[in-house]
Structure 1
Amino acid sequence: MNDAFKALSDPTRRQIIQLLKDRDLTAGEIADHFTISKPSISHHLNLLKQARLVQDERQGQNIVYSLNLTVIQEAMGWFLGMIGTKGKGE
């Protein structure tokens, strides 16, 4: 879970997550939304994959990225649980 929060600490990676929320995208389609280099986008995608927040699938010559909703739901559940437990008994 810590990897997920660390990955989400970067604004570029959060923006990639936002893009993938709407639909699955190739690395090139993701890169089109940024002014940083494609190798930098690839680095961000790799960190998101290592944190299991996104998954990739080869489709022909392209690699298509999608959200791993299971991990995102786990992270949100943990986060909301932390908010919900704060203040109990105080």
Structure 2
Amino acid sequence: MTSIFKALADPTRRQVLQMLRTGPMGAGALADAFDVSKPTMSAHFAVLVAADLIEAEKSGRTIMYRLKMSVLEEALMGFAQAFGLQLTPETPTTTAKRQPKEKS
């Protein structure tokens, strides 16, 4: 859990996670979104991979990163529960809008 909090402590890494919510992205495209050097972004990616928040898939010279949402959700749920909050993952039955009852 410590590695997850270390990863989430940095605003650049949080922004990378947010960008990956829309789907997998290449390392170059992610790095281009920030005003830092590519080696600095590589270090950020390494921290996120070590925390198991993202996974990397290499194809030739391209590295694609993918968000591991279940790991992030588990960590956040564990953190909330440590403070006595009882959260449950959203399910279609809890998030669906209820239909008004018809009057007879």
TM-score after normalising by structure 2:
0.75
Listed as ranges, the gaps of 5+ residues in structure 2 are: 87-104
Amino acid of the structure 2 residue aligned with 1:47 = V
Instruction: With a CA cutoff of 8 Å and minimum separation of 6, indicate the structure with the bigger relative contact order.
Output: 1
User: Which position in structure 2 is the counterpart of 1:58?
Assistant: 58
Amino acid of the structure 1 residue aligned with 2:67 = L
Amino acid of the structure 2 residue aligned with 1:64 = M
Tell me how large the CA RMSD over aligned residues is: 1.3
Q: Aligned partners of 1:23, 1:69: CA distance in 2, in Å?
A: 11
Q: 1:68 offset after TM fit, Å?
A: 1.3
**Greater helix content:** 1
Q: Within 5 Å, which residues of 2 pair with 1:3-22?
A: 3-22=3-22
Q: Aligned partners of 1:25, 1:40: CA distance in 2, in Å?
A: 17
User: Which position in structure 2 is the counterpart of 1:46?
Assistant: 46
User: Which position in structure 2 is the counterpart of 1:32?
Assistant: 32
Q: 1:51 offset after TM fit, Å?
A: 0.7
SS in 2 for 1:23: coil
Q: Which runs of 4+ in 1 moved over 2 A?
A: none
TM-score after normalising by structure 1:
0.86
SS in 2 for 1:36: coil
